[in-house]
Amino acid sequence: MIIRALAPASSANLGPGFDSAAAALELWNELEVETEVEFGVEISGEGAEELPRDATHLALRAFSVFAPVEGCRFRFVNRIPLERGLGSSASAIALGLVAGAAVGGVAADPGELLVKGSRLEGHIDNLAAVLYGGVCVAWTRDGPHAARIAADMPLAPVLVVPAARTNTALSRSGLPFTVSHHDAAETVAAATMLGAAIAGGNATLLRDAFHDRLHEQYRSTQSPLLESVRADLPPGASGVTLSGSGPSVVVWAEPDCVESVVAALEELVPPSATVLPLRVAQAGAHIQ
């Protein structure tokens, strides 16, 4: 048997939605699994020279939740850059989960996969978006839980991906243990606006929601593109958010201004950075 699984990239936080909001993105990793053969792992694309080729691979660990990895050959095609804040780990977990469930003959819905995957992925916001597709909110109270609140964003994401990487654990270590009541209140207001804007498809409200005081200001030194792009935002762009823990940023463009925003960003950012216009992925991880 040969099965083929796909899983999208994701951008978490979306500004004030710290550790709770994320959108799936049309940048897909693939996994082909062949059963009843000699065990092996093949990797092409991003991370091909550094990712493990044994059962410690994150996707294989997720696969083993539903089916044994022995007697299977795994072929990965990776398009999501590693350690750039684009959910490469969540995508790997989702690939393993949906492929393992298919091989194991288990009919698991995204909510069940989220629970299984949360044991491997500490940040369920990314994993929720990758599993459900669209735009999701996630929470851990009596959880983990997630809900897909929209199929799309009212503004178009244009990613700016630097060559440098950021370690998520290191990035989180720079966040303070406490914040001021003022900063917390401002972020709560912005997060409320964020959810309303996404669910209601309101681009004007979304533009005003891109205001965070919980994490972006503390991560800007490791993600210099955030401040440089925000200081020189191209016409037709309504805001900038740090993608996950960075260092990639998302410039949110008016849908009819994407081409001009891309052209302006290519002039603005360093040549080593990649400007990548994407769409929100309507589908989550699935078997093709």
Mean pLDDT, rounded, for 102-123: 92
CATH architecture of the region 156-277: 2-Layer Sandwich (3.30)
CATH 3.40.50.300 fits 2-149+281-287, yes or no: no
pLDDT over 90 at 174, yes or no: no
Mean pLDDT, rounded, for 90-109: 97
User: Which tens digit of pLDDT belongs to each residue from 21-49?
Assistant: 999 999 999 999 999 999 999 999 999 99
Domain ranges of the chain: 2-149+281-287, 156-277
pLDDT over 70 at 169, yes or no: no
pLDDT over 90 at 143, yes or no: no
What mean pLDDT, rounded, does the chain reach? Answer: 95
Mean pLDDT, rounded, for 225-242: 95
Write down the pTM of the prediction: 0.94
pLDDT over 90 at 54, yes or no: yes
Share of the chain above pLDDT 90, in %: 89
For residue 220, the model assigns a pLDDT of 81
Mean pLDDT, rounded, for 117-131: 92
Q: Are 125 and 13 in contact (CB under 8 A)?
A: yes
- Give the lowest-confidence range in 7-11, 72-76, 195-199, 222-226: 222-226
The answer to whether the 2-149+281-287 and 156-277 domains have the same CATH topology is: no
pLDDT over 70 at 253, yes or no: yes
Mean pLDDT, rounded, for 189-211: 96
